[in-house]
Structure 1
């Protein structure tokens, strides 16, 4: 063989190897792409207050709504539609709802689901048989596939029709998903446990992994509507760094994330921007240890001088919104609303009359440490300076650390509303004269007695309202705050609701 022929042969062999290698790469990446299309992964960033293990591990969150489905569910429009119950019938008087379960319902581990499993959940494990009754509901498992719910109490609503709608929405919450009888009493809440080995799903997804940084959900093979679930996997990333999340969204690495309000103007693709409304409550405490604030009329004038955009129902105890929760109802007692509304002209008159010939001896210092309250603090400062002519200085410090100096120095304290209503009332009562203090605590004790009639409780709340309205030891400021989200425009079937909630069950990415 000539040298030229030998070189040509070697070139041919090399070219042949290169062609085989290229074909292998093409086949490999083609297979990889087909798998990716088939798996269809959605990635969601949970930030701010949502981005923590503790907040995710609660019944009504984005993660749990995908894991635990009840008799009904919410669709992307916010409408109540059929869930594990294929249909329901409501009686003409709206006092009875009959649910008909779907055929062959199963938990994620393959165990069958019956009407008794729903009864076990609704009755809060007080009865594991086929019948349960309390002062609000009578629940009966007629057979394995039919569940009857008889409504006995209007729970402070005017129409029975509204009560039946309320329960249809309640049955859509993850906390009311069914529990199997095989679960021992001590493990009765393990269906909401974020341990993927113990988690027992009734919804479209199962939990494959959960940790401090992320949660990975995979399609539930035993879900009744699995053929219409087009997304194989949803990953939740717990990241509070909004700047990083925004960059990842722009690079196509995540599909949903919350953003800061100051970043809204920077968003080029406005179709990706979604808004969520949240009620936000803060408390302005009055330091009545300072001479000028000992006067009730001065405090009343200050309340009248501060503009509030109250969005909640006018069901306040004094200036405090008091929801009375009991079992499955969240009824708000209708008590009087004695706290004066915003009226700058009357506030000025009352303030000047209360002061008489005295002059304000100091600048009012407003103690505030939460950055979220900054806008509210600036508004209070503006209102008091313009409407009453007093100077206000905002001090940003940790309220708890500076509590001992509060009585000596600061006129006001602006802080987030505490979750523990009982504690709040006791604390307020402690700052009142002995007679009112004793009566407030006595009323609070009586309110906890479940056997007492609703009429008596309303009377007690009204009396508390009167005491608080006369003394005005604090002012609750309730307003709407908006949160902003970016949602991949190709993501279909997603709804961003109030309080930063979003609903995803049949969500998919449009190709």
Structure 2
């Protein structure tokens, strides 16, 4: 039995596409193996046309749901077709899906969705079809299931993956091996227990006592680990950003903010321009254009930073200690590094405040100089927040550029022009500094467990896991 206890999983919403429970219960046409490769799932194979615009899937023989009901290509078509009206990449303008017969499903790709090559688009959809939300549903479930929600009642749950749900509650979920799974003979673990515990303060102790086999741990506990072979790392959906409070008089000055940026030492290989610093899904699909935008983020140069800072201040004295609000305790080391850089390179006093004051933002505007927080990479919230803080003309133009980049098909030359204009606005404003582009989390995995893969964003791949005896 495998006991899991880690804080990043959203078990309150079991339908989140990438949760470990979902991945074990609901398998799609394809799936990811322990190396992160897309391999055959419920489809035994697929063929891609020479122009990469058509994918033909061939289902395995005698596929069944966990209750023994037969599975056909119509079930996959029914699931994927439900996304057509959700403003996603499944709309008819992007792809057309049809069931050729009970065992063959044909996908015709209609649009590059801002990618450079058709080959990349076909790979994108192969990965999409591996998501648990795209697992097949029979007609009875689909008709009742308006919002694609799988029933987490263990008596009604219908699984297509290697496990079935035996128990699900606020504290734990118990999964048992699915007797009707196509690859049941290669599933070597009979039962998996997930513990839904977001408190990781005692994780290291519980792991060393053998109470849990996989858990997230605090970054400060990494040095305490006795068995280094148990330590695993994973990238997350977040990046660490330092925001400037330009409501404070001294930080209204662009040159002051520029001097602060130049005084802070960042990791190597960080983005050199602001549109590259700010992650946005549509930017990610036009990386070639982003990389051709000129460098705009000031480089680390403490000597020049000091000169610019003193020049910008003129005869003014700094009447207060700069308060650095650190939202996430896991960023303690980053906050200490920023404090050290600013005190040594600019000669200012910095006090770190570790608390979440989202409920009292007005007080922040009056007192705090900086906010250090982790922002989720795959939303545009931060971008819109930054745009809203600008003068109305710049705000309007930024949003126009964003809309154009999202919707319009254009040449790479025009994309570069739009991204360059956007970058220029950001560089003049200097509203933030990207401190860390890849935020990592740390996990412990029992070395006796085989077939475990810790993927990006804290995803665990456990379908072929077993304990070595």
Task: Give the distance between the partners of 1:330 and 1:233, measured in 2 at CA.
Answer: 46
**Whole-angstrom CA distance in 1 between matches of 2:375 and 2:88:** 42
Q: Deviation of residue 108 (structure 1)?
A: 1.5
Contact 2:290–2:419, Cα closer than 8 Å, also in 1: no
Structure 1 residues 48, 331: closer, same or farther in 2, change over 3 A? Answer: farther
Deviation per residue, 1:136-194 (Å, 9 max, x gap): 22323221111222333333443433333332222222122122223344514455332
Does structure 2 conserve the Cα–Cα contact (< 8 Å) formed by 1:90 and 1:96?
A: yes
With over 3 angstroms needed to count, the CA separation of the structure-2 counterparts of 1:130 and 1:322, relative to structure 1, is closer
Q: Which moved more, 1:439-448 or 1:55-64?
A: 439-448
Q: In the TM superposition, what whole-angstrom CA distance separates every residue of 1:405-441 from its partner, at most 9, and x where no partner exists?
A: 2233222222332679555444333432333234445
C-alpha RMSD of matched pairs (Å): 3.9
Cα distance in 1 for residues equivalent to 2:316 and 2:419: 37
Q: 1:221 to 1:144 in 2, by over 3 A?
A: same
CA contact (8 A) 1:137 1:152 kept: yes
C-alpha distance in structure 2 between counterparts of 1:53 and 1:131, whole Å: 26
Q: What are the superposed Cα offsets for residues 166-225 of structure 1, whole Å, 9 maximum, x if unpaired? A: 322222221221222233445144553322233221100111111111000111121111
Is the Cα contact below 8 Å between 1:317 and 1:461 reproduced in 2?
yes
Equivalents in 2 of 1:122, 1:314: separation in Å?
39
Contact 1:204 1:220 in 2 (8 A): yes
Whole-Å separation in 2 of the counterparts to 1:59 and 1:73? 12
In structure 2, C-alpha distance between the alignment counterparts of 1:496 and 1:418, rounded to whole Å: 20
After superposition, the Cα gap between the structure-2 partners of 1:486 and 1:287, relative to the gap in structure 1 and judged at 3 Å, is closer
Deviations 1:300-343 (A, max 9, x none): 22222222337787785385322239999999998766333434
Does the CA contact (< 8 Å) of 1:366 and 1:392 recur in 2?
yes
1:368/1:72 Cα in 2 relative to 1: closer, same or farther (>3 Å)?
same
**8 Å contact 1:284–1:474 — kept in the other structure?**
yes
TM-score, length-scaled by structure 1? 0.79
1:136/1:391 CA distance change after superposition, 3 Å:
same
Listed one character per residue, the Cα deviations across residues 271-319 of structure 1 (whole Å, up to 9, x for unaligned) are 3333333364233222222222111122122222222337787785385
The verdict on how the C-alpha distance between 1:110 and 1:229 changes in structure 2, with shifts beyond 3 A counting, is same
State which drifts further: 314-323 or 62-71: 314-323
8 Å CA contact 2:150, 2:157 repeated in 1: yes
Kindly tell me: are residues 448 and 127 of structure 1, through their superposed partners in 2, closer, same or farther at Cα, counting changes over 3 Å?
closer
Report the number of matched residues.
469
CA contact (8 A) 1:368 1:396 kept: yes
Matched, 1:186 2:147: no
Q: Describe the shift of the 1:444–1:189 C-alpha distance in structure 2 as closer, same or farther (beyond 3 A).
A: same
1:436-471, Cα deviation, whole Å (9 max, x unpaired):
234445556667768999998876555433322211
2:235–2:457 CA contact under 8 A, matched in 1: yes
* 1:459 partner SS: helix
- Over 3 Å counting, the alpha-carbon distance change for 1:215 and 1:177 in structure 2 is same
> Residue by residue, what CA displacement relative to the aligned partner does 1:21-78 show, whole Å, maximum 9, x if unpaired?
xxxxxxxxxxxxxxxxxxxxxx444445336632544221111110111111122222
Query: Which shifted more, 440-449 or 325-334?
Result: 325-334
The correspondence for 2:22, drawn from 64, 81, 91, is 64
Comparing 269-278 with 298-307, greater Cα deviation is found at: 269-278
Structure 1 pair 477–46 and aligned structure 2 pair: CA distance change class (3 A): farther
| C-alpha contact (below 8 Å) 2:32/2:130 kept by paired residues | yes
Task: Answer with 73-82 or 407-416: which moved more.
Answer: 407-416
| Further displaced range: 383-392 or 454-463 | 454-463
What's the offset of the Cα at 1:84?
Answer: 0.5
Q: Which runs of structure 2 are paired with 1:91-490 in the superposition (5 Å)?
A: 91-126=49-84, 134-189=92-147, 192-242=150-200, 244-278=202-236, 280-309=238-267, 316-317=274-275, 319-324=277-282, 338-417=296-375, 421=379, 423-441=381-399, 462-490=420-448
Deviation per CA, 1:234-289: give whole Å up to 9, x if none: 11112234465444433434322223333334433333333333364233222222
SS in 2 for 1:331: helix
Distance 1:193 1:162, change over 3 A: same
Would you say the 8 A contact 2:281–2:378 is kept in 1?
A: no
Against the structure 1 CA distance between its residues 267 and 212, is the aligned structure 2 distance closer, same or farther, given a 3 Å change threshold?
Answer: same
Distance 2:274 2:86 in 1: 39
SS in 2 for 1:184: helix
